[in-house]
Structure 1
Amino acid sequence: MPLGRLPALLASLRERLPDDRCAVLEHVLTDAAGPDDPRVGRFIAGQYAAGLAHQLADLVRAWRAEAPGLTGAALALALATARSLPRPEPPQVVVSGPLSASVPARLTSGVATEVIRSATASLVIASFAAHGARDIVEELERAVGRGVQVDLLLEESTQAAEAFAALPRGVRVWHRVGAAGVLHAKLIAADRHTALLGSANLTDRALSDNIELGVVLRDPRLVASLVDYFRWLLEPENNIMRRART
């Protein structure tokens, strides 16, 4: 019988419970013969965190309805497998311009340099325009100094590459091939683990003064997809981007 709600309920419990409490639940489930095992019922009755007993009871109902022949050890293994995977940090709002005391957000300028600083192997950076942004340029210089490969995808019509003219020759600058549209993306991706994307170009005003909105991602699965797409753009056989400087 196909599983319905059971996987989602297990995933929800994994998200809610810290590692030590999740391990306790796994231990209880490992010894349970099925959803009506009294040890499971006693464990649920002893939970006092808001809504947790109800959440566990919902799991047991789904277990009984969807997979009554499944042992508790199987559910424990599913939880342990999920627990072995790293928990991605949630996305974080990033803004330029005025800040509200009641709305949690971070300034684009600070997050941009932080993301660059976190790179150990590679940086993929895209911007429609670039001007000034001396803090960004200096952080890129330090990244190159520690051996990070930097790829800058820049819109040629805005002369964005001029902002990075002082960077070492090993920094690769890319422009779009042809005139069908422009490179309008804004991205700073460190290795395959952290990325800042949003509306802000790499200009002094966009990083600090304009009203801009973005998000920083620290989920390696999402960041890897972004990086793979931009790396695909750079493949010579696709004839989408050309290297302007090596």
Structure 2
Amino acid sequence: MTPELARVIARLAAELPPGHIEAWAHVLHGRRAPGADLEARLIEAGPGFAAGVAAARLTKAWREAVPRPSGEAVALALETGAVLHARHAGHQTDVVVSGPLGDRPAVRLTAAVVTGIVRDSRSALLVVSFAAFGVSEVVRELKDAATRGVRIDLVLESPRREGGALRGTGAATAFTALRDSATFWTWPARHRPAADGSAAALHAKLVAADDRVAFLGSANLTDRALGDNIELGVIVRDPAAVRRMAGHFRGLMRPGQGPLEPVPR
């Protein structure tokens, strides 16, 4: 297969919907060469989605390929490319933002991402935040997740009077409705290093579900951070990376060894 034909197939495998790939593969099977009717047959099999331009690109590249592969080979390459693209897309990261959008709005919004991850969870949720306030929709989704049997661990910063870094109330106050259905974790002052009279802070922001998908970014779990502030983060769909993130906190939670401790109910 020539480099140009391979490039065209790879691009089409990424651009075409799965139904088009299947329909076009059916047309290609049994053809020894790209006949005069191929382009029309492809458009007929998968209309719309700029099908005319895509069909013309594939037909031209196949016709000019030297040596010229069979239709079965072209179909197999197209189907294989689609499978690999779908697998890769499933592990891709997306940009997540809060606040005003710029002139390139191909991003996800923080509030929608956080609630979506919680809503889609099935077995375990790890929520880590420095500050928390309001976020009634997130709390509601967490309560629904608990009702489904999802295990929820909330790792939250404490107020200064308890050795934390937050002024006023601690982040756990926002999740009072979950006191009986989630495990709250704290970083006690005795386990925190201090320098120049100031203790270290629990500053991470993470929402991870089922060791499968996670949101990692600058936004705290506050109404301002999820909606109005200029915040930036990513949604990670690589299970290996998510397992490492969650595993780091599980290590910090290890009884008798980690610095984090569960808050008694």
Calculate the TM-score normalised by the size of structure 2.
0.64
Are the aligned partners of 2:9 and 2:58 in contact in 1 as well (CA < 8 Å)? no
Superposed, 1:148-163 pairs within 5 Å as: 148-155=150-157, 157-158=164-165, 159-163=170-174
RMSD between aligned residues: 4.2
Are the aligned partners of 1:171 and 1:245 in contact in 2 as well (CA < 8 Å)? no
2:183 maps to: 172
SS at match of 2:53: coil
Tell me the amino acid that sits aligned with residue 228 of structure 1.
R
1:209 maps to: 228
1:127 maps to: 129
Shift of 1:233: 0.6
1:73 maps to: 72
Shift of 1:166: 4.1
1:43 maps to: 38
Tell me the amino acid that sits aligned with residue 225 of structure 1.
A
Distance 1:184 1:199 in 2: 9
- Classify 1:216/1:228 alpha carbon distance in 2 versus 1 (closer, same or farther; 3 Å): closer
2:262 maps to: 244
Unpaired stretches in structure 2, ≥5 consecutive residues = 44-50, 159-163, 195-199
Match of 2:57 among 44, 54, 59: 54
Shift of 1:106: 6.1
Distance 1:235 1:103 in 2: 35
SS at match of 1:150: strand
Shift of 1:213: 3.1
Shift of 1:31: 2.0
Distance 1:184 1:226 in 2: 20
Shift of 1:197: 3.5
Distance 2:4 2:261 in 1: 50
Tell me the amino acid that sits aligned with residue 217 of structure 2.
G
Match of 1:140 among 129, 139, 142: 142
Are the aligned partners of 1:44 and 1:57 in contact in 2 as well (CA < 8 Å)? no
Tell me the amino acid that sits aligned with residue 77 of structure 1.
L
Aligned-residue sequence identity (percent) comes to 37
SS at match of 1:200: coil
1:225 maps to: 240
Shift of 1:207: 2.1
Distance 1:91 1:243 in 2: 31
SS at match of 2:178: coil
Distance 2:3 2:85 in 1: 25
Q: Deviations over 1:89-122 (max 9, x none)?
A: 8876644334679947665334433332222222
2:110 maps to: 108
- Classify 1:165/1:4 alpha carbon distance in 2 versus 1 (closer, same or farther; 3 Å): farther
Tell me the amino acid that sits aligned with residue 43 of structure 1.
L
Q: Deviations over 1:180-220 (max 9, x none)?
A: 97554323233356543332101232123322234556xxx
- Classify 1:240/1:224 alpha carbon distance in 2 versus 1 (closer, same or farther; 3 Å): farther
SS at match of 1:163: helix
1:14 maps to: 13
